[in-house]
């Protein structure tokens, strides 16, 4: 079974994806599939206990075995990250995307936390908050981000990103 991975666009020349967490039972196959989609970096937003409960404690090692970079950036489920920390993460993702790399972001379902980070990344590329969230919603096929606090975070992040340009 092919794992779901949704191309978002808007981060040229790189490829930006949003996805749910990989399957623990098919972790090696899932990571191989991501690599076949030109993904070079996986960003996991799962908290350590959540990752363990999902059986994904080996995700970083599995990515490394298959030549993918793995970045762990835990955000509480339904929560929002620290502004400075997410700014640093988005800057790191933008650098990879500007180099033409593929970056895929996941939380558990690939909606709330992932929608927040991917929307903020698009804002760093110049999209308004509404444009970014609409693009990610269309790509994912679900309304993102999931909570009012997450949407407010994206709105604030995008307004600050626009002011910095």
pLDDT digits (tens, 9 = 90+) for 13-24: 999 999 999 999
- CATH 3.90.190.10 corresponds to the domain 6-164: yes
Q: What is the pTM of this model?
A: 0.96
Minimal CA–CA distance to 120: which of 48, 16, 38? Answer: 16
φ, ψ dihedrals at 105, nearest 5°: -115, 135
**How does DSSP classify residue 62?**
H
The phi-psi region of residue 38 (left if phi > 0; otherwise alpha if psi is between -120 and 50; otherwise beta) is left
CA–CA distances in Å: residue 155 to residues 31, 57, 92, 125, 152: 32, 33, 20, 14, 5
pLDDT in tens, 31-41: 999 999 999 99
Residue 54, classed as helix, strand or coil, is: coil
pLDDT tier, 119 (very low <50, low <70, confident <90, very high otherwise): very high
Q: What angle do CA 121, 59, 151 make, to 5 degrees?
A: 30
pLDDT tier, 161 (very low <50, low <70, confident <90, very high otherwise): confident
Q: What is the spatial distance between Cα 42 and Cα 102, in angstroms, rounded to a whole number?
A: 9
pLDDT in tens, 120-146: 999 999 999 999 999 999 999 999 999
pLDDT tier, 61 (very low <50, low <70, confident <90, very high otherwise): very high
- Quote the pLDDT of residue 1: 79
pLDDT in tens, 85-107: 999 999 999 999 999 999 999 99
* Enclosing H/E stretch for 131: helix 129-140
**Which residue ranges make up each domain of the chain?**
6-164
How many other C-beta atoms lie within 10 A of the C-beta of residue 158? 23
pLDDT at 165 over 60: no
pLDDT tier, 164 (very low <50, low <70, confident <90, very high otherwise): low
């Amino acid at each position: 079974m092919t794992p779901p991975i949704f191309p978002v666009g808007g981060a040229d020349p790189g490829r930006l994806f949003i996805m749910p967490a990989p399957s623990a039972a098919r972790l090696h196959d899932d990571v191989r599939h991501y690599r076949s989609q030109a993904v070079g970096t996986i960003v996991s937003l799962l908290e350590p206990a959540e990752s363990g409960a999902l059986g994904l404690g080996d995700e970083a090692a599995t990515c490394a075995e298959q030549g993918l970079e793995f970045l762990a950036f835990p955000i509480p489920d339904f929560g929002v990250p620290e502004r400075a920390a997410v700014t640093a993460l988005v800057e790191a993702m933008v650098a990879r995307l500007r180099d033409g790399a593929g970056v895929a972001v996941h939380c558990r379902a690939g909606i709330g936390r992932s929608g927040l980070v991917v929307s903020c990344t698009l804002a760093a590329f110049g999209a308004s908050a509404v444009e970014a969230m609409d693009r990610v919603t269309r790509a994912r096929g679900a309304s993102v981000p999931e909570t009012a606090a997450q949407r407010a975070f994206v709105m604030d992040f995008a307004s600050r990103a626009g002011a910095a340009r």
